[in-house]
Amino acid sequence: MAIDKDQVRHVAKLARLAFTDDELDRFTSQLSRILEHADQVSALATEDVPPTAHAIPMTNVFRPDEVKPSLPQGKALGIGPEVEDGRFRVPRILEEA
């Protein structure tokens, strides 16, 4: 299944990535080739085959709910690119009323 330039543009928007027109052309052709190869999976009959999300069977992993020391706020926030008053700072999200 090939992917066209408009679809690549749409997926880029979903993925929060921006491409120049040249990059869009290159990605369209590369992704199409990879998807053609990936499409080989459709040749296998998989009716009634359950999907595997996790290869090692494991269900309901429980642990005691104990309070333990965690990273102090300052250290956790220390990795943020912009921090103010103990919070991560971001550009305005809502317009002023």
CB 29 within 8 A of CB 8: no
Q: In the window 43-82, what residues touch other proteins (CB under 8 A)?
A: 43-44, 46, 49-56, 58, 61, 63, 71, 75-76, 78-82
Task: Indicate which single residue of 4, 6, 25, 30 sits in contact with other proteins (rule: CB under 8 A).
Answer: 30
Collect all residues with Cβ–Cβ distance below 8 Å to 5 and sequence separation of at least 6: 24, 25, 28
Alpha carbons within 13 A on the beta-carbon side of 10: 5
CB 36 within 8 A of CB 2: yes
Q: In the window 7-26, what residues touch other proteins (CB under 8 A)?
A: 7-8, 11-12, 14-19
- Asked if 39 is part of the footprint of other proteins (rule: CB under 8 A), the reply reads yes
- Asked if 97 is part of the footprint of other proteins (rule: CB under 8 A), the reply reads no
- Asked if 33 is part of the footprint of other proteins (rule: CB under 8 A), the reply reads yes
